[in-house]
Chain A
Amino acid sequence: MSAPVPLTEVLAAVAEGAGSADEVSRRCGVSRDVAETALAALASTGRVRRTLVFAGACATDGCSSCGSSGGCASAGVGSLVGSGLTAWRAVPR
C-alpha cells in the first residue's frame, strides 16, 4: 500500500512557502483532495499547523503593534486574502 505522494515532499512544499492545499496540489502535482488529505495527516501529528500569516507587523507583534486595532477587522482582510488570514506552516523540529 503506497501513498499518492511522499509526505516529505508535501512537507518540503509547505516549508518552501506553499500555504494552502491549492498551492501544495500544484507544486506536488497532485489533486487538491490529495493535498488536503496530506496536509490533514501532517497536521494530525503536529508537523504542520495553521497559523496567522499577515503581511504586517502584527504577524510578529500582535494586534497591539497596529496603529488601528480594529482597522484590520473592519477591512475584513481575512476573507480577502484567499482562504483567510491563515496558511499552513511547517512546525520546526
Chain B
Amino acid sequence: MTLDGAPTGLPMIVLSAHAASISVTRRLAEMGIRTGVVLRILSRTSGGGAILAIADDRLAVSRSILASIQVTEEVPAHG
C-alpha cells in the first residue's frame, strides 16, 4: 500500500520510494526514506500530509510524498 492509505502508529517497512521527479526522489533518500527503512506515521497534518517517525527523526511530508512511498506492515520477528 502507499503511505497515504496506511494506518497511523504501526511500524511500516518501505518497499520503494519514487516521487514524480528524480530530484524529489533523491531528496527522500537523503532524508532517510529508502527501501528497507522502518518508519511509522505519528499524526496527520492539514491537507493530507503526515509526520513520520524514522528511528529518532521526525519528518513532515505532504500528501503527494505519502502517495509515492510503497510500504508494507512490519511483522515483528519471533524467537
Contact = CB atoms under 8 A, between A and B. Distances in A.
A39 B74 CA distance: 33
Interface of B: 29-32, 34, 55-57
Contact of A23 (B30, B55, B56): B30
Interface string A41-55: 000000000000000
- Interface size classification for chain A: under 10
Given A27-B29, A31-B56, 12 more contacts: A18-B30, A22-B57, A23-B30, A25-B32, A26-B30, A26-B31, A26-B32, A26-B57, A27-B30, A29-B32, A29-B34, A31-B55
Contacts of A25: 32
A18 B32 CA distance: 13
What 9 pairs across the A-B complex have the smallest Cβ distances?
A: A26-B32, A26-B31, A27-B30, A26-B30, A23-B30, A32-B56, A31-B55, A18-B30, A26-B57
